[in-house]
Amino acid sequence: MSLAPQTGRTPPLLNETDRRLLAAIQSGLPLVTRPYAEIGTRIGLSEAEVIARLEYLKQAGIIRRFGVVVRHHEVGYGANAMVVWDVPDEQVRELGRCLAEFDFITLCYRRPRHLPQWRYNLYCMIHGKTREDVLSNLEWMVNRCGLQGLTHEVLFSRRRFKQRGAVYFDVQGSTNADAALDARLASAAEPRAAGSPGEG
């Protein structure tokens, strides 16, 4: 599951049922014949209600897409590299869109530079069965997108410690941001000792 990115519009409010549902599916659908029925059993909804609520969340822009996370090493893609580019800022959008067109690119995004230590502002992840495949795809991509002469680094992965989607909700359906807010509110509500900062 991918949640939709932040936009300028105000997102619809989530009710507790929505939060429980998102918490139940964020780690993937259960591998059973009727996964939506199984999810419904866990959170007290019928199969039809789960499907209808997911459709609403997709239409509302909360869920961007459902997809399968493939463990690429297990299907023969043993090499991957993050390529970082020093791209003129006025060309980032155009070149980023060009890079994103390639099937072997799984991530492509802009990040801020941290000068003088880190000059790179455009990132992409290339997957291949071998290092040679990755480098060959990189060369093709450079020629296709006109990246010749731009400074870049190829950072091959050496060991996989973790591969999973993001976790936005705890098992009760609260977001990590909700938990942080609850902690701040609880702290603010605690009685202060006499003479402590903040007392007039």
Pair 76, 68: CB distance under 8 Å: no
For residue 192, tell me if it sits in a domain: no
CATH code, domain with 85 = 3.30.70.3460
Residue 110 CB contacts under 8 Å (≥ 6 apart), including other chains: 92, 96, 121, 122, 123
Residues 151 and 121 in one domain: yes
Q: Are 80 and 151 found together in one domain?
A: yes
The tally of domains found in the chain comes to 2
59-78 pLDDT, tens per residue?
988 888 777 767 766 777 78
Tell me which residue range forms the domain holding 27: 2-69
Work out the burial of residue 187: count CB atoms within 10 Å of its CB; fewer than 13 is exposed, 13-18 middle, 19 or more buried.
Answer: exposed
Are 81 and 11 found together in one domain? no
pLDDT tens digits, one per residue of 125-184? 999 999 999 999 999 999 999 999 999 999 999 987 876 666 777 765 555 545 544 444
